[in-house]
A = this chain, B = another copy of it.
């Protein structure tokens, strides 16, 4: 049994600081825990019952030791609660804030010391906790009326920030993708990114890991665990706290030193670990990796019906170190026979405003051997593009078996086209440049 299992697959959960109403965080967490199929023990001395289940005055009143104890009481009470818990919990999740991030370093150190003394692992403090849809476990203090949870899937998200975690989950949900494990680990007083990397490396339900971090606790262990994880799964990291103001912000957020970003950047680069430079890149990469497996190569073909969008995609290829090399003479001649003479037979292939859906599939099939990945750009504000495009691209993708991403410009049919393309596991991006960035993640 892995010491982190109680956090992901508990059989029983105690919530210290449960509340009777969802206007309090302790009520929101309890409501979310009610979906859990194991045993739930709310702790609150004022009520015999909370949201229809029996409540207990204190942790010592719970009839059995629990797998996971969640603490949601003011930070100053945490040491007393830990002592009271003693050996009655196999894992402890401290959600409360008011530790190192607000200057209470001694309090956080005491909690760390107590955890070691009791031989129990601690997640947090100052964190969101865990969402594991495969186990119906949801410890978040965000109501599902506000944050819709994604379905089960293969993406694990681990984040020091609850804000970023929730934004990533919204994106995953929106992209019709699913979650394996989602973890907000906050101040990382005990369990760090490295523990989570090691755990997820061996989690069969996870194939993509998205990691947002502000601080690295142990540089050597971080490198080892990130390397090992990225050999087995697709890992993408966003490191925040890059400059002095960001570092100051990170310090008041999680009470951890962000460290010199240049060092971090050089190290992940050296070991070939994927890094997103900002929030949008992290989101876009998550989408790409959750839809398609990465493969090799640098040669990119852009197929568009909008000339300018094609030029912008070509510019981004250059910035991303990808090669939008021209068509071979043979392929130029061949496409010249297939397409009307006003099409741009080059790379980008420009299908112009007089495009029909099937022209994309034709171009993809003809050029499948010549490139490593494809960017399909469709501006559906011409009548020649219809929702049928999704079906044709799906077929072409199956025949080609290489990474394909798309940018669908805004129009009245874009939303429907997008849903159909993403069901076919072709990610759709809101700009030519972001589509290219999405593809780059798949070509690393």
Contact = CB atoms under 8 A, between A and B. Distances in A.
Closest A-B pairs by Cβ, 10 of them: A161-B308, A163-B306, A243-B318, A253-B307, A170-B410, A246-B315, A164-B308, A245-B324, A147-B381, A146-B381
Interface string A314-355: 111111000111100000000000000110101110101110
Interface string A122-161: 0000000000000000000111011110000000000111
Interface stretch (A83-91, A221-229, A430-438): A430-438
B252 A350 contact: yes
A250 interface: yes
A66 to B, nearest CB: 25
Nearest to A28: B383
Interface string A166-189: 110011001000000000000000
17 contacts: A25-B353, A102-B341, A141-B353, A143-B381, A159-B308, A161-B306, A161-B309, A166-B306, A174-B410, A240-B308, A242-B319, A245-B315, A246-B317, A253-B308, A278-B316, A278-B431, A279-B431
A302 B314 CA distance: 35
A161 to B, nearest CB: 2
A250 B342 contact: no
A412 interface: yes
Nearest to A385: B146
A249 B310 contact: yes
A433 B281 CA distance: 11
Given A165-B308, A253-B307, 6 more contacts: A170-B409, A171-B410, A242-B315, A248-B326, A249-B302, A249-B314
Contacts of A307: 101, 161-163, 249, 252-254
A145 B305 CA distance: 18
Interface in A354-376: 354
A16 interface: no
A22 interface: yes
Contacts of A2: none
Interface string A86-129: 00000000000110011000000000000000000000000000
B146 A383 contact: yes
A146 B323 contact: no
Interface in A291-315: 302, 304-312, 314-315
Interface in A47-73: none
* Number of copies of this protein chain within its complex: 2
A164 B160 CA distance: 38
A344 B383 CA distance: 53
Nearest to A315: B246
Interface of A: 22-23, 25, 28, 97-98, 101-102, 141-143, 145-148, 159-167, 170-171, 174, 212, 214, 240-246, 248-250, 252-254, 278-280, 283, 302, 304-312, 314-319, 323-326, 341-342, 344, 346-348, 350, 352-354, 379-383, 409-413, 430-434
A231 to B, nearest CB: 27
A440 to B, nearest CB: 14
A344 B147 contact: no
Given A161-B309, A308-B160, A310-B249, A379 B412 contact: no
Contact of A311 (B246, B315, B341, B344): B246
B164 A250 contact: no
A346 B246 contact: no
A308 to B, nearest CB: 2
Contacts of A243: 314-315, 317-319
Contacts of A431: 278-280, 283
B212 A308 contact: yes
A420 B391 CA distance: 37
A246 to B, nearest CB: 4
Nearest to A165: B308
Nearest to A213: B308
Contacts of A383: 22-23, 28, 143, 146
Contact of A354 (B25, B241, B278, B409): B25
B252 A344 contact: yes
A166 B102 contact: no
Given A245-B318, A341-B102, A146 B412 contact: yes
